[in-house]
Amino acid sequence: MPRVLWTHLMKDLRIEWRSKEAINSMLFFALLVVVLFSLAFDPRGPFSQSIAGGVLSVATMFASVSALNQAWAREIRHQVMDAQRMAPTPGAELFLAKVLANFLFVTIVQVILAPVFLVMYNLRVVGQAWLLAVVLPLGTWALVANGTFFAALSIRSRNRELLLPLILFPIFVPALLAMVNATGGILTGESDPGMWIKLLTGYDIIFTTVSLLLFDTVFNAE
Amino acid sequence: MSGPARPAPNAQLEDVSKLFGSFAALRQVSVALEPGKCYVLIGENGAGKSTLLRILAGLLRPSMGQIQVFGEAEPHDARDRIGYMSHAPMLYDELTGVENLSYFARLYPDRECLEPAEALRQVGLDPKLERPLGQYSQGMRQRTSLARVLLAQPDLLLLDEPFSNMDVESAGQMVELLARFRHSSRTIVITTHQRELAAPIADFVLALKAGRVARFEAGNPTL
């Protein structure tokens, strides 16, 4: 891993370790969504297997918005971003470090959330369970790569908390559909998740590449 | 008989204007900043001092006019040689002084940076301080911010109100440090409302009024 990327990443992890702002807010929000869904629908009913993927994805999606907003808010709080802009290092490395840090934070929340989710929705994996270890990281990457980019884009806006979900969610829809269908296919064993996994992989490659190419323009905007 | 050749300026602005919508923050400013000199930028609030510094730092682009910094038409291309200290500390509240400085030092892989502990010692702070920056006093933050700027030993030092939130003694120490830092190849630009504090190191005074250069001459800013 390039040294500067590692420097940015370690800084983000250290700050999060001390403040725990992102993980705490995400965790409580995601738990709340899962519990509310379990109250709205009968979690032990016949449809629980088929809606579980959607509930988990939506909970992760809503919860991660707060963390994504905080990721850049920290950089503009004392104009730290100006100091980063003046450093002779590519902005893409800062972006990639933020994506990796956010990916790690969302994954930690998912790991804590998963057992609660399995118990509350009485889930038994009928398909190939190991595929979940492919689908969830791919879906999470799609969310955080786009989310980190659009959070940077909206950070100078007065209504950034509102603007981020408004831009992010419509663009995330193809990845969300792929994630939900793949997860549903794995949990129920009724359909082959292969096509959805390929779609997620393609989505991740395209959107990560485009974000990396455009980030310097966003980063250095006045 | 001609005298010794004047060194090429480290930074030069020609008819630079900056518009924010219909508001002109700078109007046709032309200045050349020579190496080894300290320029004190004065003017009322809103005169355009900070805008001028941000343009020199490459954080803002001029709406009109030409700029050259170390021979580059885009200051951004010479950013490793520019140090900019703003009103805000440009540091993380959650990290200690040494952690903040270590982070920024690693962002300058091709510059010979000072050791973070040494930079902190130079501004009169104890590098062993374990407290995060969020628990520092305003004056200590200001010193840490200066240490961050000095870290990469820049050739163009842009300081926006460096003496604010500082007692007279600390400000005096900062001026002494800047005098030591001044070097034949380095240029220092300071904006301040406390002219008397900058007087000991001032070579030139640049006064701005409503975005225009009202005065640009060698001498003492208190006169």
- pLDDT at position B103, please? 97
Distance from the Cα of B219 to chain A's closest Cα (Å) equals 31
Q: Does the pLDDT of residue B222 top 70, yes or no?
A: no
Ranking A43-57, B175-189, B195-209 by mean pLDDT, the lowest is A43-57
Residue A17, chain B, CB below 8 Å: the answer is no
- pLDDT at position B17, please? 96
Confidence band for B3, pLDDT divided at 50, 70 and 90: low
- pLDDT at position A215, please? 95
Three-state secondary structure of chain A: CCHHHHHHHHHHHHHHHHHCHHHHHHHHHHHHHHHHHHHHCCCCCCCHHHHHHHHHHHHHHHHHHHHHHHHHHHHHHCCHHHHHHHCCCCHHHHHHHHHHHHHHHHHHHHHHHHHHHHHHCCCCCCCCHHHHHHHHHHHHHHHHHHHHHHHHHHCCCCCHHHHHHHHHHHHHHHHHHHHHHHHHHHHHCCCCCHHHHHHHHHHHHHHHHHHHHHHHHHHCCC
Confidence band for B223, pLDDT divided at 50, 70 and 90: low
User: Which of A86, A156, A220 has the highest number of chain B CBs within 10 A, making it the mutation to test binding with B?
Assistant: A86
ipTM of the complex: 0.90
Q: Does the pLDDT of residue B199 top 60, yes or no?
A: yes
- pLDDT at position A168, please? 92
Q: Does the pLDDT of residue B2 top 60, yes or no?
A: no
- pLDDT at position A162, please? 86
Give domain limits for chain B: 11-218
Cβ-nearest to B110 among A7, A19, A88? A88
Distance from the Cα of B78 to chain A's closest Cα (Å) equals 8
Answer yes or no: are the C-beta atoms of B200 and B175 closer than 8 Å: yes
- pLDDT at position A53, please? 73
- Look at the alpha carbons of A188, A193, A199, A200 in this order and tell me if their dihedral is positive or negative: positive
Residue B212, classed as helix, strand or coil, is: strand
Q: Does the pLDDT of residue B131 top 90, yes or no?
A: yes
The C-alpha atoms of residue B203 and residue A44 are separated, in whole angstroms, by: 80
pLDDT by residue for chain A (222 residues), tens digit each? 688 999 999 999 999 999 988 899 999 888 888 888 888 877 777 777 677 777 888 888 888 988 888 889 889 888 999 999 999 999 999 999 999 999 999 999 988 888 887 788 777 777 788 888 899 999 999 999 999 999 999 988 888 888 899 999 999 999 999 988 898 888 778 888 899 999 999 999 999 999 999 999 999 887
- pLDDT at position B194, please? 84
Residue A7, chain B, CB below 8 Å: the answer is yes
Q: How far is CA B90 from each of CA B4, B70, B84, B212, rounded to the nearest angstrom?
A: 41, 24, 10, 28
Mean predicted confidence (pLDDT) in B166-195 = 86
Q: By C-alpha distance, which of A137, A75, A147, A150 is closest to A108?
A: A137
Chain B residues with CB-CB distance to A19 below 8 A: 94
- Whether A7 and B106 lie within 8 Å, measured CB to CB: yes
Give chain B's mean pLDDT.
Answer: 90
pLDDT tens, B7-56?
789 999 999 999 999 999 999 999 999 999 999 999 999 899 999 999 99
- pLDDT at position A66, please? 83
Interstrand relation of B156-160 and B11-20 (parallel, antiparallel or unpaired): unpaired
Confidence band for B4, pLDDT divided at 50, 70 and 90: low
Report the topology of domain B11-218.
Answer: Rossmann fold (3.40.50)
